[in-house]
Amino acid sequence: MAQRFAFYGRVSTEDNQDPAASRRWQLDRARALVEKHGGLVAEYFDIGQSRSIPWKRRPEAARLLAALKDGPDFDAIVIGEPQRAFYGNQFGLTFPVLVHYGITLWVPEVGGPIDPESEAHDLIMSVFGGMSKGERTRIRIRVRAAMRSQAEIEGRFLGGRPPYGYRLRDSGAHPHPGKAAEGRRLHVLEPHPETAPVVRRIFTEYLAGAGIFSIAEGLTREGVLSPSAHDPGRNRHRSGTAWSKSAVRVILTNPRYTGHQVWNKQRKDETLIDVEDVALGHTSTLRWNDRDEWVWSETAAHTALVDRATFDTAQTVMAGHGRGKVRDRRRVRRPYVLRGLVHCGVCDRRMQGQWNHDRAYYRCRYPREYALANTVEHPPNVYVAEHEVLAPLDSWLAGLFAPDRLADTLRCLHDAQDDRPDPAAAAAGRIIAECDAKLARYRSALEAGADPAVVAGWIAETQAARAAAAGPSRPARPANRRMTEQEIASLVDALGGIASVLKAADPADKAEVYKRLGLTLRFDPESRVARAEVLITSTPWGYGACPRGDSTT
């Protein structure tokens, strides 16, 4: 009886691989292996996915695994090359799933199906996984070594957006013949006629004694466009309302204004998504390297906006905060009991913790953050002391959950629940559905003979949007559901008697109780009154919320 096979393949576009050609030769190898035993009835091919990404997080591989649970229309899976399908220990994590569902795995290097009982087959596949990991490591080392040499010796611009104050200028054909044949060009930074004077002004004013806030306010007052407003097409995620202190600080600390090309300021670290489930793999996180690891070009690579001495002086002043000495920047974790729970009654943003005179305070400095461009009538600073809130708050909560008032409180909590669907989850679902539809159309276009390079760019962009909507690095948030009074009562009981817990609790334990109660406070600076609300839910912690309750520039 002829078997039904599903083909799986993968191609990465990071090193300019041709998706159509790669898919074709992998398919040819797979067909040559299984043509005497059956035919292909399904195809799963990931484009633009790194081999280090586990199967569960590759769109097509995840679709294949989902098909196993739904009752597949194939009997076996065939791959064209094991190094492209499996990386590191991925075979050991994936093959048992196939065995569980009775699906065989065919590999050309084995000459047929992999025998689950064969130690030799298991060893061969483990070797291929190790080879795949070693190949990726060698490629990364070679690429980084080449980039270091190009930045240090040639001073070459290695890509990315030009810093504020510069624009890109064509500097000739690419030195690599193959890339030059594709029309690729080299670029160099040149001063932007509108923004370069602003950069020079910022350095001049800062070294003359002006603070970062003062510089930002002056630029906003005079109507000078901030970096995000100057180039809104590449800064859609920022409001561009005005100059912020962070924008000024980034300019003052960017060494490329000295005319030198600087590389390796940041690195990508791979960190486990979930230490309790290593099979989920890693996620790449950008981190800053120490300054002694930065790679400077040996000579000037483009026109300088400030000289090296001016830049170094600005770094010394910033490190000493104008006092000529470097500050100790070691972070101290303070016990803020109401962390993330206090909102400003004027702008409704979460107030930030501030430690003064050995006590915890919460503040909102909304206008200072956005300089002069705000239309909100807001005091320069809104402060509230934690100790002024805790005592009346604990008394209020203890009264609410006292035995004689507990029944009424539980009834009010039940009636106040919001049983509407989670809007964020619904929006993410719509985005995922749209992305899946686009990926299906792109696959059809690729099979119809469309330009593989163009289609690969579309696919990579769509997969990135889908991954962002799905949020693979955080737990899925359950849909909203109304809790019964009994369920609310059980949660309250689990707190172990709120009055007794709050009376002499450790700050961390007290903060835990407040969070599980769904407590929020809104502080009105005019009346000096904090309004408290409690809303117990089955999922008291949300995922993906901005710590300040908004999206800042």
pLDDT tens digit sequence for 259-283: 998 888 888 887 777 777 777 777 7
CA atoms within 13 A on the CB side of 514: 25
Which strands make up the sheet holding 529-534, listed edge to edge?
342-344, 519-524, 529-534
pLDDT, tens digit (0-9, with 9 covering 90-100), for 178-191: 777 777 788 889 99
Three-state SS at 508: helix
Summarised one tens digit per residue, pLDDT across range 44-53 is 999 888 888 8
Annotated domain spans of the chain: 3-138, 166-171+186-261+297-320, 342-419+480-534, 428-470
Tell me the H-state helices in 101-186: 119-149, 177-181
pLDDT score of 418: 55
Write down the pLDDT at residue 103: 93
Query: Which has the minimum average pLDDT: 59-68, 424-433, 440-449, 530-539?
Result: 530-539
The answer to whether 485 and 407 have CB atoms below 8 angstroms apart is no
Mean pLDDT of 377-395: 82
Radius of gyration (C-alpha) of the chain in whole angstroms = 29
Q: 3-state class of 170 per DSSP?
A: strand
CATH class of 166-171+186-261+297-320: alpha beta
pLDDT (mean) for 4-12:
92
- CA distances (Å), origin 164, targets 111, 265, 269, 371, 542: 57, 17, 27, 19, 36
What was the pLDDT predicted at 548?
A: 40
At residue 336, does pLDDT exceed 70? yes
More confident residue, 481 or 468: 468
Question: Confidence band (pLDDT; 50, 70, 90) for 327?
Answer: very low
Indicate if 166-171+186-261+297-320 has the same CATH topology as 3-138. no
Mean pLDDT of 391-406: 73
Q: In the CATH hierarchy, which fold is given to the domain comprising 3-138?
A: Rossmann fold (3.40.50)
User: CB neighbours of 300 closer than 8 A, spacing ≥ 6?
Assistant: 155, 258, 259, 260
- Asked if residues 77 and 42 have their Cβ atoms less than 8 Å apart, the reply is no
Tell me which amino acid residue 202 is.
I
